[in-house]
Amino acid sequence: MNPKVKSDISWQRIGTEVLIMDTTYLKQAHSLNSTAALVWQHLNGKNSPKQLASILSEEFEIDESSALNDVEALLERFRKLQLIEG
């Protein structure tokens, strides 16, 4: 299953950042910088980590292998914070 933002996590883009309001699980607020925000906005269950890395690599002109490492680390962090499924 591809990673997906949980349906009961509230969020919105503000400028280049994303504000996440987890009012359900750990009851915390988080902000994401523009790089993480780009990944976050594509966590819709349709994109695999590889596809997410490709989006990141294209937007920020980094190589796909470094992008994949960054994406995996980010996804792991989101999972620990109970923000995503898959």
Partner 1 sequence: MHDLKPSSSLVANLIAKAHSNHQPLFPTLEITQICNLACKHCYNFDRTKQATPNNQQEHMSSAQIENAIEQLRDLGALWINLSGGEPLTHPDILRFVNKASECHLIPRLKTNGLLFDEAMAERLKRAGLKGLDVSIYGASEETYEKFTKRPGKEKAFNALKIAKEKGFDISASIIIHKLNLSELSQMISQCQKLGVKFQLSDEITERYDKSPGARDYEIDGNDMKMLLSSEHGQLFKYKNHEQGLQCSCAKTVIGIGFDGSVYPCIGAPILAGNIKEQALAEIWKNSPVFSKIRNLRKEDFKSCNTCDFIDHCNRSSGGIYANTGDYCGCDSKTLEFSRIRSMLSNNQS
Local structure of residue 44 (DSSP, 8 states): B
| Least distance in angstroms from the C-beta of 38 to partner 1 | 16
Spell out the SS3 assignment of 61-76.
CCCHHHHHHHHHHHHH
Q: Which is nearer to partner 1, 17 or 85 (CB)?
A: 17
Give the C-alpha separation, 58 to 13, whole Å: 20
Please report whether residue 5 would count as binding partner 1 according to CB under 8 A. yes
Please report whether residue 9 would count as binding partner 1 according to CB under 8 A. yes
Q: Which residues bind partner 1 (CB under 8 A)?
A: 5, 7-15, 17, 19, 21-23, 26-31, 81
